[in-house]
Amino acid sequence: MRVMIDTNVFMSALMFPSSTPSGAMQLVMERHELVLCDYIVNELRNKIGLKRPDLVPALNELLDTMPYENVSGTGDPTPAIKDPKDAPILDAAIAGNVGVVISGDKHFKSLSLTKPRVNSPADFLKKNR
C-alpha cells in the first residue's frame, strides 16, 4: 500500500525513536511504499532545523538513504482542507494515489475520505500489524 507520512509524525519518529510514530514509520518502511512530497520534505528540513538542529544530519542521511517516492500535486486540492498549509500535502496524496496518510493533524482527521484514509500512528499500527 502507498502511505504518506505527515510532517508531524515524521518529526516525532525522528525525535523519539521508541515512540508510536516511530513504530508506524518503521512498519511503513518494512511493508509498504513510502510516499512524500516536496512540501513535507521542505517542512521537515525547516522545522527540524529550528527545533532540533542537532538532528539535521540524521534527517539528511535518512532522506538520502531511505526509499520513497516523491510526488507532486495538481495545485488544486479537492476536497478542500481547513488549514491551507495542509492543502499541498492532501493534494499530493490524492494525485499520488496514496491509500493512507498517517497524521495526527486535526485538519486531516476531520476529513471524511475513503481514499486516502487518514490514520493516526496508533490506528495505523493497529490496522496493519
Model pLDDT, residue 115: 86
Model pLDDT, residue 108: 79
- Strands laid side by side in the 69-71 sheet: 69-71, 33-37, 2-5, 100-102, 117-119
**Which one-letter amino acid corresponds to residue 2?**
R
Question: Mean pLDDT across the stretch 19-42?
Answer: 96
Domain range for 42 is: 2-128
Domain with residue 40: its CATH number is 3.40.50.1010
Model pLDDT, residue 104: 86
41 phi/psi in degrees, rounded to 5: -60, -45
Model pLDDT, residue 6: 95
| CA neighbours closer than 13 Å in the CB half-sphere of residue 84 | 0
Q: How far is CA 50 from the centre of its chain?
A: 19
The answer to whether 91 touches 73, Cβ cutoff 8 Å, is yes
Model pLDDT, residue 33: 97
10 pLDDT band (50/70/90 cuts)? very high
74 pLDDT band (50/70/90 cuts)? confident
Grid cell at residue 50: 529550528
Q: Is 120 helix (H, G, I), strand (E, B) or coil?
A: coil
Q: How many folded domains does the chain comprise?
A: 1
Model pLDDT, residue 78: 65
Model pLDDT, residue 79: 66
Supply the mean pLDDT for the chain. 91
Higher-pLDDT residue of 54, 105 = 54
110 pLDDT band (50/70/90 cuts)? confident
